[in-house]
Amino acid sequence: MPTGKQKAAKASASGLYKAESVKDVAESLNIPSLPDHIASALASDVEYRIYQVVEEAARFMRHARRTTMTTADVDNALRVLNIEPLYGHSGHNNPTFRRALPFSHLPSSGTVYFVEDEEIDFDRVLKEEKLQLPPGVRWTAHWLAVEGVQPLVPENPPAVPREDTAGPSTRTNGAGVPVRAQQQNALVKQVLSRELQLYYSRLTAALLPPAPDPAKRSAALASLRNDAGLQALLPYIVRWVGEGVVGALKEGAQSDVDGRTLEVLLDVIAALLDNASLFVEPYLHQLLPPILSVLLHSTLPYAHSARLRRHAAATLSRILTQYSTTYPSLAPRIMKTLLLALLSPDKARGTRDGAVRGLVGVGKDAVRRGLVDAGGARVVGEDLMPGEDGGLGDAVVDALRTLCPQSARPMPVDAGSELDARLREVMGEYFADRLAGDRDWAAAILGEA
C-alpha cells in the first residue's frame, strides 16, 4: 500500500505547475529548504489560480465573439478577480515566443519557451533622421483687449475688415435680402437650439406692446429675471433691444405705442441685470447706447417722457454701481457724454433734462462737476423764464439736493453780499433766485460752508 507522502508526490507530479518550480522561487527569495508538502500545496494553489484566470479570460473571449484569447482578455480577467494586472503586454503588440533548443545535459527538463528580443541594427538607427523633442509647456500673458480694442499682437487673431453696408460690396440675393443679413440669420439658427429659438420668438411676441395680455408680459420679464439657461440667447436679446429702441425713436415718433415700447425695452434691460446667472459684462457696450438714447433724446412721447428718463437714469446708475469697479473708465466716459449734452449750445430741454438726471445717477461728484464747476446750472437757467417752476428747473434743484440737504430753518442770503455775488456768478440769475432763500444750503452747494 502506498503511503500519504507517496500519494502527495504522485499528485504533485501529475500537476501542470511542478513543486520544483515553487522551490526555485523560494530559493530566489532566500528560502533554501522548503518542505515538500508545502511546495506541493503551493503548486496546487498556483495551478488553481491559473485555471481560474484562464476561465475568466475565456469568458471575455466568448463574449467578444472571438476564438483567440488575447492579453486584453487576461487583463480583464485579472481586474474582475481583483488582482493587479500584468504590465508590459499589449493586445496591439503581442510578444513572440520561441522554443529553446533541448538541453543535452538535462533531457528531463522538458520544452522551454522564451520571448524573442528584437535585434536592433545600429547602422540603420544612426542613419535615420533624428526627431527633435518638442519644447515644454510655457505660459505667456498678453492683452486680449484694452478698453474694448483688440491689440494687434501675434497672439490675437487678425482683425476682420468691416464691410461698408452702403458701398458697392453689399450683395443681395434674388429676393433683395442682403447676403450678410441672410448669413447672420443662418448663423443664429445654427447656434441656437430649436427650443431656444422657440423661446426667443415667444418672448419677443409677449413683450411687445401690441400683446393684449399683461400677464404674459410680466411672465416674460420674470423669466428673463430668474431663468439660468439664457446665456446663449443673451446677445440676440441685447441686439433686439437696441433695434427696438432705434425703431421707436426714429423720425421723432410721439405715439403712445412708442412710449410703451421704450418702457418695455428698459424693463428688459433691468431684468437682464437682475439675473445673477447671466454674464452681462461683454455686452455693456451694446446696452449703454439704448439707455443713453432714451435718456438724452429730445422728443420723447409726452405722457411717458418723465417716467422714461427716470427709468433710464436708474438703469444707468445700476450699471455703474455694479461694473464701475471692474471698468474704472466707464463712469468718466458716461459723464463726458452727459456733460456734452448738458453744456452744448442749442440743445433741447428734453436732452438737458435727461443729462441732469443722468448726472444724478452717476453720483454726487458728477452733479457738482456738471452743474456747479462746469456751469451747467447757469446754462440751463438761461433757457428758463424768471419764476418758471416745474420741468427742467425742478430737475436741477432736485439734483442740487443730492449735494447737500436744505436747512431745517432756512435764512435768506443777504442781498449784495459776497455770497450773493458768488452765487449769481456760478449758478446764474434763475437758480440764484431759487437758492437765495437758504443761505446755508447755497453756501454748501458752492463749497463755502
pLDDT in tens, 61-113: 999 999 988 888 898 999 999 988 777 666 666 677 788 777 666 666 667 77
* Proportion of the chain above pLDDT 70, given as a percent: 82
- Structural domain spans, the chain: 1-89, 189-323, 328-449
Judged by average pLDDT, the poorest of 111-120, 154-163, 196-205, 229-238 is 154-163
- Inform me whether the pLDDT recorded for 176 exceeds 60: no
Amino acid present at 340: L
- Inform me whether the pLDDT recorded for 172 exceeds 80: no
- Inform me whether the pLDDT recorded for 52 exceeds 90: yes
- Inform me whether the pLDDT recorded for 310 exceeds 70: yes
Q: Pick 19 or 181 by higher pLDDT.
A: 19
pLDDT of residue 368: 87
Burial class (CB in 10 A: 0-12, 13-18, 19+), 337: middle
Judged by average pLDDT, the poorest of 81-85, 174-178, 223-227, 336-340 is 174-178
Average the pLDDT over 258-267 and give the result.
Answer: 89
Q: At what angle do helices 234-249 and 284-296 cross, to 10 degrees?
A: 20
Residue 98, Cβ neighbours under 10 Å: how many?
Answer: 11
Average the pLDDT over 380-407 and give the result.
Answer: 81
pLDDT of residue 311: 92
Residue 395, Cβ neighbours under 10 Å: how many?
Answer: 22
pLDDT digits (tens, 9 = 90+) for 194-215: 888 898 888 888 888 666 678 8
Helix boundaries (H) for 128-193: 179-191
Average the pLDDT over 159-181 and give the result.
Answer: 51
Name beta bridge partners: 149: 146
Average pLDDT for the chain: 81
The tally of CA atoms less than 13 A away on the side-chain side of residue 169 is 6
Predicted TM-score (pTM) of the model is 0.57
Q: Are 264 and 310 in contact (CB under 8 A)?
A: no
pLDDT of residue 148: 67
Domain 1-89 class? mainly alpha
The tally of CA atoms less than 13 A away on the side-chain side of residue 210 is 2
pLDDT digits (tens, 9 = 90+) for 2-50: 454 454 444 444 577 888 888 888 888 888 888 888 889 999 999 999 9
Helix boundaries (H) for 324-373: 330-343, 349-362, 364-367
pLDDT of residue 247: 87
pLDDT of residue 106: 64
CA 219 – CA 267 distance, rounded (Å): 12
pLDDT of residue 183: 46
Q: Which residues contact 175 (CB under 8 A, 6 or more apart)?
A: none
| The three cell numbers locating residue 39 | 511546495
CA–chain centroid gap for 218, Å, is 27
Overall size of the chain counted in residues: 449
Residue 241, Cβ neighbours under 10 Å: how many?
Answer: 22
pLDDT of residue 91: 65
CATH code of the domain made up of 189-323: 1.25.40.770
380 confidence band (pLDDT: 50, 70, 90): confident
